Amino acid sequence: MQMICSAIKVPATVNCLPVELIFYYAFKDKYKAFDFEKYLKSRSGRTFMNKRFV
């Protein structure tokens, strides 16, 4: 709930409220999480998301 409350203060997300968490993936290493996030923002990562998550 704290994350949603702090999201209200961010101008980029104020029009997207309320949000619903539909997917959660945890990493043991924060660097692997950063790398995976960077991958998901790439062209092949977006293709991966559309194929696997949608």
Specify the pLDDT at position 1: 46
In a domain, 31, yes or no: yes
User: Does residue 38 fall inside a structural domain?
Assistant: yes
Within a domain: 7:
no
Residue 48 counted as domain residue = yes
**Predicted pLDDT of residue 8:** 58
pLDDT for position 10: 67
Q: What is the pLDDT of residues 1-54, one digit of tens each?
A: 445 555 556 677 677 777 788 878 899 999 999 999 999 999 999 999 899 877
The residue range of the domain holding 54 is: 21-54
pTM: 0.58
| Inter-CA distances, 12 with 8, 17, 34, 53, 54, Å | 9, 11, 21, 23, 23
Structure tokens at 34: 């950063």
Residue 10, in any domain of the structure: no
Domain membership flag for residue 30: yes
- Number of structural domains found in the chain: 1
